[in-house]
Structure 1
């Protein structure tokens, strides 16, 4: 696996002058878990907002993702997954570094074997509907942060850090 060479704790300690944001667990117990084989991942953010419809997630992860991380605001829905093993495998084939989903994934045993960083709130076996609904390149708000396409994201088992500029070689 091609883990990145950083630790989010160290990024924060090493760059106190930077305006770095840390995604915080919410008061209702929602926090991100790692599901992919990459334990740490980073890249330039591409945002998508969709609720219980993974059409845009599937479309975006089928494009060239070199040096990129897809950040998905699924509204924290716990009713269906926005990514499973087939879409995750497509992301690997298109060289995405990772995916952060403010919502659920499925096929967790299969995606745990894929060379992809995946952070999501939970797993559920129910797939989403596909109605072609979702918006790309919006500012997303969750976990106490705002995330824009073009930002940089750094994720590991300690948490998720958002930066306006690249902090380490990707």
Structure 2
């Protein structure tokens, strides 16, 4: 059965604001190295960075009909997450759909499939993370579901989850865990800032991270060049 779920929960404006400057790598580490989409999900242009509520959309292979249904459910601050029900690299999305999403205040698109019109999308400043770029068009014949749980590029996405995407990829944060994850993100950023200062001052990571003893335990031995030659 195909359904379109309306009035899905969303994150607070404050939570969304907190994550606007968060980096994918930091968020991924902060939540225990989970929620990261596959490595082939890349932005069509750089630099690009967004954070917003997920609106999820299934599409049939070679068919973008349900994206039009999903557009109606999008609100300002949302990120549309699209995945085909079977693997497909066709160009599901182009500049016309982007124009419609942009008019509704949508921050960007995450799609485990193909997109086209990327020169125009770049000129528009509408960020897209996709599996590939492919000019092959699609039809409008088969229904699927909107705003249901989906697995997109290996990551589970529920409607209203937080999507964070930048030049390094895409990560999903469960909606009810977002504030707790941000606390950990803040702690990591403070810790990294301190270490960055120390590294800039000339300290070695070997000493900052107390690596020498563990390296010795693992069997690493230092020898001089002359000792090694003899």
TM-score bucket (shorter structure): 0.7 to 0.9
**Structure that is richer in strand per residue:** 1
Q: Which runs of 5+ in 2 are unaligned?
A: 1-19, 183-230
Q: CA deviation at 1:38?
A: 6.6
Which residue of 1 is the match for residue 26 of structure 2? Answer: 10
Alpha carbons of 1:164 and 1:33: their partners in 2 closer, same or farther (altered >3 Å)? same
Q: Is the 8 A contact 1:81 1:128 kept in 2?
A: yes
| Superposed CA offset, 1:39-78 (max 9, x none) | 0111111111112211121232255421111110123312
Q: State how far apart, in whole Å, the 2-side matches of 1:58 and 1:38 are.
A: 27
Q: Gaps (5+ residues) in structure 1?
A: 26-30
Structure 2 match to 1:45: 54
Change (3 A) 1:35 1:61: farther
CA contact (8 A) 1:48 1:72 kept: yes
2:90 pairs with 1:76: no
Rounded Cα–Cα distance in structure 2 between residues aligned with 1:99 and 1:113? 15
Are residues 38 and 89 of structure 1, via their aligned partners in 2, closer, same or farther at CA, if it must alter by over 3 Å?
Answer: farther
Instruction: Report if the CA contact (8 A) 1:23-1:143 is conserved.
Output: yes
Pairing 1:6-155 to 2, within 5 Å after superposition: 6-13=22-29, 15-16=30-31, 20-25=34-39, 31-35=40-44, 39-51=48-60, 52-74=62-84, 75-78=86-89, 80-155=90-165
What is the SS of the residue equivalent to 1:112? helix
Question: Structure 1: which 4+ aligned runs deviate by more than 6 Å?
Answer: none
Structure with max Cα Rg? 2
C-alpha root-mean-square deviation of aligned residues, in Å?
2.2
| TM-score (ref. length: structure 1) | 0.81
Deviation at 1:93, TM superposition (A): 1.1
